[in-house]
Amino acid sequence: MIRRFLLISSALLLSLAFTACQKNGGKPSVRMVYAVNVSEDVLKVANVEVHYVDKTGDKKKEIVTKTPWKLTIVADALPLTEGVWAKITPKFGVPESTYSLDLNTIAAYGGHLGNGKKIADIYSNTPKAPTVAKTAAEIQAWCATSPTVSFTVSQEGFAKQTHVDFGGNGFWDDFWEAICLDYCYTYDEDPEEWCYD
């Protein structure tokens, strides 16, 4: 299902980004598109909070209550940086069962430069962890693999992958979070209370 979502949404997002922006009086007109799709089981076992970069470079966040989550932002200046990361926090006291955990994170852009040249590209990422989990430890391990998708679009309209620090998607953040979550599940403590601000 996630693979089908990826193919359909990638084509849709890229065409939306590419065709929706018209020439803007000699200025660039660029549509930034973000999408995060998780399986229904993810919402049962975890809280999902999407962190993203807006057109001014500010970092924003939104709670995901239904899937897929999508956002479109129109920008009129280059260069710009796009970044999106789904912070996935395991819920406390989830009953042991078989959960299908899937995630796809997408960032795309498209539009016109001031000279009329059309630009477009799309990036996506999925966790490399197994997608079936039964125990709290397996859910925790999967949640810690949520990848960031980020890139900078140059004045000329070319994208280059970069890293956007959302304050939780770096190596050391993931390392200490994993230790804290392991402690919570070992000693029956609430991760929301111990591991997160």
Angle at 44 between CA 39 and CA 49, to 5 degrees: 75
The answer, yes or no, to whether residue 164 has pLDDT greater than 50, is: yes
| Mean confidence (pLDDT) of the chain | 80
- Domain ranges for the chain: 2-164
The answer, yes or no, to whether residue 16 has pLDDT greater than 60, is: no
For the entire predicted model, the pTM comes to: 0.75
pLDDT for 125-158, tens place per residue?
887 666 888 888 888 888 888 888 888 998 888 8
